[in-house]
Amino acid sequence: MPSAAALRLEIERTMEHRFPAALTPVPKTIREVVQTGIASVDALLEGGLPVGAISEVIGPESSGRTSLTLAFLAKRTEAEQVCAWVDAGDTFDPESAAASGVSLKQLLWVRCRREREMIKVKPWTRLDQALRATDLLLQAGGFAAIVLDLGDMEPEHAMRIPLATWFRFRQAADRNRCSLVVLGKTAYAQSGAEVVLESMPFSPEIVGGTVWRGCMFAVGRKRQRFTQFSAGVRKPPASTWSADAAWEPGRSA
């Protein structure tokens, strides 16, 4: 009686012209991930955002993109690592970051200048400045996470970023073990991104009709490379998470 291994080899050899290695499981690519600090999002992402890759957090205004990214940065700075926030629209709020637990001393904030303010410096657009700054930071290395904030950038402008730029960023991020998070209204990096998280509009939590206590956000996984294929799932996975207002005292998670 032939052994199981010999039998498998025979079947594989027979089907070789149609399926190479038909009965051998496909090797799984395991990527290093870091937690975002939000349990439901981590569960959705099977661990967290990837290290050495581009992640995109997309959605309209008030969909929780920034809160989610700040929660992720808070985790990174908590681990004594340094991060950078490349702010194309100059919209970053240090008070919100501090309230989210980000150590501001470990955060490099690059505030891109509006075109009309650029009298002495080079006349680059804000998008140009942001891309150049991100490039420099990625090449310098040593940053655990870099956020490229294009949240206020109109998609018709940001969509013009060449795909080659995203591939270069991905390679540099991979080389330096850096998580590059791109905030935007829609996905820009296309196949350059390893994870695309889509944030949905929110529902507020109100107390007594006078105080805005927090928000409930929905988030969906729009794209994730190297994920295990599961035959039963049709819809892209999604989840919800909540964020407290900055003035709200801490509640148990």
Partner 1 sequence: MIGELYACVHAAEFPAQALLRLRTDLQSQPVAVLDGPVSQETICSLNRHAVRRGAALGMTKLEAEGLYGLRLLPRSTEVETAANTVFLECAAMFSPRIEEVSEGTACALALDIAGTERLFGPSEKLSVRLRDEMATAGFRASIAVSANFHAARMKATAARGITIIAAGEEARSLEKLHISALNLTDEHKETFALWGIRTLGELAALPEVELVKRLGAAASNWRALAHGVARHTFQPIEPEFALKEFYDFETPVEQMDSLLFIGARMIDCLVARAAGRALSLASLTVDMELEGGRVHHLVIRPAVPSIDRKFLLKLLQLEIGAHPPQSAVVSLTLSAEAGQSSKVQLGLFAPQMPEPSRLDVTLARLKAIVGEDRVGSPVLEDTHRPGSFCMEGFVVGAKSSGSKAERSRMALRRVRPPRPVRVATHVMKPVAFSDGGSRFEIEAAYGPWKTSGFWWSLDGWDTEEWDALAVSNNGEKFGCLLVLDRLRNEWRLEAFYD
**Read out DSSP for 125-173?**
-HHHHHHHHHHHHHHH---SEEEEEETTS-HHHHTTS-HHHHHHHHHHH
Q: Which of 158, 151, 16, 124 is nearest to 70 (CA)?
A: 151
Which of 16, 93, 115, 154 contacts partner 1 by CB under 8 A? 93
Binding mask 211-230 toward partner 1 (x if CB under 8 A, else -) reads: xx-xx---------------
Residue 225, C-beta contacts closer than 8 angstroms, at least 6 positions apart: 194, 195
DSSP for residue 38: -
Which of 78, 159, 163, 225 contacts partner 1 by CB under 8 A? 78
In whole angstroms, how close is the CB of 14 to partner 1 at the nearest point? Answer: 49
Question: Segment contacting partner 1 (CB under 8 A): 8-16, 133-141, 156-164, 185-193?
Answer: 133-141
The verdict on 107 binding partner 1 (CB under 8 A) reads yes
- Which residue, 12 or 90, has its beta carbon nearer to partner 1? 90
CA distance 79 to 99: 17
Total count of residues recorded for the chain: 253
Rg (CA), the chain: 21
Question: Helix crossing, 126-140 with 163-176: angle to 10°?
Answer: 30
Q: Which of 10, 75, 7 is nearest to 36 (CA)?
A: 75
In whole angstroms, how close is the CB of 236 to partner 1 at the nearest point? Answer: 22
Which of 17, 80, 160, 232 contacts partner 1 by CB under 8 A? 80
Question: Segment contacting partner 1 (CB under 8 A): 11-19, 95-103, 166-174, 232-240?
Answer: 95-103
Which of 42, 45, 53, 92 contacts partner 1 by CB under 8 A? 92
- Which residue, 149 or 194, has its beta carbon nearer to partner 1? 149
Binding mask 145-184 toward partner 1 (x if CB under 8 A, else -) reads: ------xx------------------------x-------
Q: Which of 169, 236, 224, 191 is nearest to 31 (CA)?
A: 224
The verdict on 103 binding partner 1 (CB under 8 A) reads yes
The verdict on 74 binding partner 1 (CB under 8 A) reads yes
